[in-house]
Chains A and B, each alone.
Chain A
Amino acid sequence: MTLDELKPGGWCQIKRISVRDRLGQRLMDMGLCPGLHLRVVRNAPLEDPMEVEIEGRFISLRHTEARFVEVEGHDQ
């Protein structure tokens, strides 16, 4: 599944970044690196963008961007 499908409060592990160039590089640079675990913190009042916590850092991104983060959901 992909990150944009996750609901606030959901946990997952990043499997793969499926986009390259500018967006792929940016996601990696901001710390969304395969293997790491993250938590979806909340959605913005208008549902988009979303905010995630990864390794103590809070990152916000649009759902259209989160679609390229392949994840595997889990509890905690």
Chain B
Amino acid sequence: MTNKKILVALAGQPNCGKSTVFNALTGASQHVANYPGVTVEKMSGSYRYNGRTVEVVDLPGTYSLTSYSPEERVSRDFILHEKPSLVVNVTDASNLKRSLYLTFQLLEMEIPLVLNLNMTDMAEQVGVVIDTEGIAEHLGVAVVPTSMKNGQGKKALFNAVAAAAEGGRKAAVRIDYGVMEPFLRDIEKRLADETTMPAFYPARWVAIKLMEGDGETRNLVRADSPRAEHLLRFTERLRGDFESRFNEAPELFIAHRRYREADDIERRYITPGRQAVGTLSDRIDRVVCHRLLGPIILVGVIWILYYLSIVQGYHITNYTWPLLAKIRSLAEAVTPQPGFIEIPMLRALVLWFVDSVNALLNYIPILFILFGLIAILEDSGYMPRMAFIMDRFFSRYGLHGQSTLPMVLGGIYVGGCAVPGVMACKGIPDERSRLATILIIPMLNCLAKVPLYVLLINIYFAAHKAWAMFFISTISLLIALPVSRILTLTILKDKETAPFVMEMPPYHLPTMRGVLGRATERVWLFIRKITTIVAAVAVVLFVLLQFPGINDERQVYYDAKKDKAIADFLSQIEGTPFADDLQGENLMAMILYWKEYKNARMLTKGPEAMSTLNATYKARNPVFFRIVQPGKDKVAKQANRAFKNLYRKRQDLLREIRKERIDNSFLGRLGRWPEPVTRFAGFNWRVNVALLSAFAAKESSVATLGALYEPEEEGEALEARMARGEAGFTSLHALTLMLFMVLYPPCLATSIAVKLQTGSVKWMLFSMAYPMALGLVVAVAVFSGGSALGLTGLQAMIAFYGLALALTVATGLLKEKERYS
């Protein structure tokens, strides 16, 4: 017995239970989904058996092994290039005949194979009887029946794997391709004479693939031999000959022969069961895919998805937010304490960092529920039905039936999140539609855009709030659809498309373990991949906002103001018993004490809790407490008034400094730089800065505006501050700003998701650049056009809506170019 590691690949058609077998073998919890092709990446795990380590790789489910789809390429390349010790071919025993189509292709790759007949429980249920020994003998491979969902047959599979790894390859059957055999022999001979291919790949398999006209195999030949083109011209000629002689395309002929062989095996070794399979699913589909009920149920499902994740998930954040707030207070406590107007750089950086990460972590409850619900949709088998119902509509815009879920997640109405939306695009088989979907999702209404909409609508469309909200909720779709159509007709024109043809798998009841497992796994992925990068960029943004900072001259000015404020305060309390207690260091301590007390009071409810709170603070510092809560004490009241005054002056100073720092900062300069252009859209540099900061996370736009428009009195709402700060602002300004936000480039986290899903930085950059350009064009057109025509914001809004609607209808009616000829 050697100690070499055994590498086992699990291959099989979608939904035959590969992932279930994988989990049973390795004990890992891996995707178990009732959705064809959900495992697009391969997963690996390992176990030990009889003292040897066996590494198992779960390949994506495929019906065949052509090079037309990514799943099939992944599976095939793995077997071809990684050269596993053996393949376990997982099949659905209740419908073995159709699984054999893939089995023959695996056998042609001349790799040791164990045929696993899974789901024997299902087969038994419908009365299918299989002569396993007969099949084993006929095919020349080990056959192992299992029912892995119940863990039956695991031991036998372990043994068969070990034995096959020992035994190496035995002669297995080969399909007789009849009239094509002479053609295959010719190619094999040329391969042996003119290339080194037979040393690396099974020659007969290469010959068959070349007869099929397989693109990847042609590339393999090209990579191998300088005389490849010569050889490939020869195989093309053979293909032409074959077709004219036998009146059937060679690739169709080959597929046909494989089915005939499967038929033959079925006739000899399988007693068919009752034709009962699928009828329950069919009965369900009579309702779920019904002309009227189907769409209603679809809307209902989407509504539940929103309701549970966005609405209820938001409620949960009320409970989780205090946890995150604790982390912040902890950071506040351990970093250097602030001075009267000096905020230590380290403290500012740490707090900024914690705030940025917290903003994202706050979404975790929502994402967890969302991912759990998606897992249920996937496992149940509803997703392909969703695609079935929506395909007609979406395909008019160059999208795909399977774009439905990503778009729902992205926020078709108000309140989605582009990150899970973009991540859900993975399953769309059509490359062109997939890219189009990824590119338009950021335009939908993500949750974080809403605060800015609400802010602007409350100020500038107060009389028509409901209509304005309806406008903004639906306009994004009316922009996204035509944009998608235009993108697919232009930039994405030459991207690969795939046939829609897909299986509607039978419905399954999702399992608790599968759903929770996947939700956790995806949330974890989110934390790992997204949050780390967001954290890194938060630091960069911090630098852009902090530097170069306040210059010396201004610093002197602020210091003078500070000294004056303190001197005023001290003179006001001179002669009181407090004067001694508030000198030097103590003054700062008092300020922090005051702030902490106020914050603590805000979080305390009920008279009892309040009195305990008061007792604690009194015990901590009785003198300070008297100032904070003077009661009827005259002298304390005087001190209290003076202190409040000082405290407010400090707040004002801090805000003034912050504002000046942002004004001066690199980001501030960046905001001024495009002003000559954005002027035509009605954006001044302040708005520009807010928009720039939205790139980190959309909700930052409102936070930055909050910093830029300082309140005149404590607690003044941002609405009022902004209305006052931008006296020249009209509803038309607000409209353009909202439209620009609709078209705003994806936020940082989404950009990372785009890069992950497209696998290319180029597409990520494009996804950031084109909405920016489009947004500017739209904003300038609406603002300048609206101003020229003397329209109010509301009039411009109605006009724009009409235009967008017309464009959506028009692009939807554009005639589709014939895909197949």
Chain A residues close to B by CB (< 8 Å): 17, 19-31, 33-34, 41-42, 44-49, 51, 53, 55-62, 64-65, 68
Interface string of B236-256 (1 = CB under 8 A from A): 000000000000010110011
CB pair B392–A47 under 8 Å, yes or no, is: yes
Closest CB in chain A relative to B61 CB, distance in Å: 12
Contacts of A58 in B (CB 8 A): 278, 281-282, 285, 503-505
CB pair B392–A48 under 8 Å, yes or no, is: yes
Contacts of B703 in A (CB 8 A): none
CB pair A25–B64 under 8 Å, yes or no, is: yes
Contacts of B256 in A (CB 8 A): 28, 33-34
Contact of A30 among B63, B278, B281, B282 (CB under 8 A): B63
Contact of B295 among A27, A45, A51, A59 (CB under 8 A): A45
A28 to B291, CA, bound (A): 29
Contacts of A20 in B (CB 8 A): 249, 251-252
Q: List 6 A-B contacts (CB under 8 A).
A: A22-B498, A24-B252, A29-B64, A45-B389, A53-B278, A58-B281
CB pair A29–B255 under 8 Å, yes or no, is: yes
Let me know if B202 is at the binding interface, CB within 8 A.
no
Closest CB in chain B relative to A50 CB, distance in Å: 9
Within 8 A of A (CB), among B273-290: 275, 277-278, 281-282, 285-286, 289-290
Closest CB in chain A relative to B575 CB, distance in Å: 85
Contacts of B503 in A (CB 8 A): 30, 57-60
CB pair B504–A29 under 8 Å, yes or no, is: no
> Quick one: given A30-B63, A56-B95, are A24 and B249 in contact (CB under 8 Å)?
yes
Within 8 A of A (CB), among B288-313: 289-292, 294-295
Contacts of B281 in A (CB 8 A): 58
Closest CB in chain A relative to B4 CB, distance in Å: 35
> Quick one: given A44-B289, A59-B504, A60-B504, are A29 and B251 in contact (CB under 8 Å)?
no
Contacts of A42 in B (CB 8 A): 285-286, 289
CB pair B289–A45 under 8 Å, yes or no, is: yes
> Quick one: given A22-B499, A41-B282, A46-B392, are A60 and B251 in contact (CB under 8 Å)?
no
Closest CB in chain B relative to A38 CB, distance in Å: 13
Contact of B502 among A25, A41, A60 (CB under 8 A): A60
> Quick one: given A22-B68, A45-B291, A62-B391, are A28 and B252 in contact (CB under 8 Å)?
yes
Closest CB in chain B relative to A9 CB, distance in Å: 12
> Quick one: given A27-B499, A51-B504, A61-B499, are A56 and B278 in contact (CB under 8 Å)?
yes
A58 to B290, CA, bound (A): 16
Contact of B820 among A59, A60, A64 (CB under 8 A): A64
CB pair B504–A56 under 8 Å, yes or no, is: no
Let me know if B380 is at the binding interface, CB within 8 A.
no
CB pair B290–A26 under 8 Å, yes or no, is: no
Contacts of B389 in A (CB 8 A): 44-46
Contacts of B500 in A (CB 8 A): 49, 60-62, 65
Contacts of A27 in B (CB 8 A): 499, 501
Report the nearest B residue to A27, measured CB to CB. B501
Closest CB in chain B relative to A70 CB, distance in Å: 12
Closest CB in chain B relative to A13 CB, distance in Å: 14
A63 to B500, CA, bound (A): 10
Report the nearest A residue to B819, measured CB to CB. A64
Closest CB in chain B relative to A2 CB, distance in Å: 13
Which 4 residue pairs are nearest across A and B when measured between Cβ atoms?
Answer: A46-B392, A28-B255, A29-B64, A20-B249
A61 to B294, CA, bound (A): 18
CB pair A60–B213 under 8 Å, yes or no, is: no
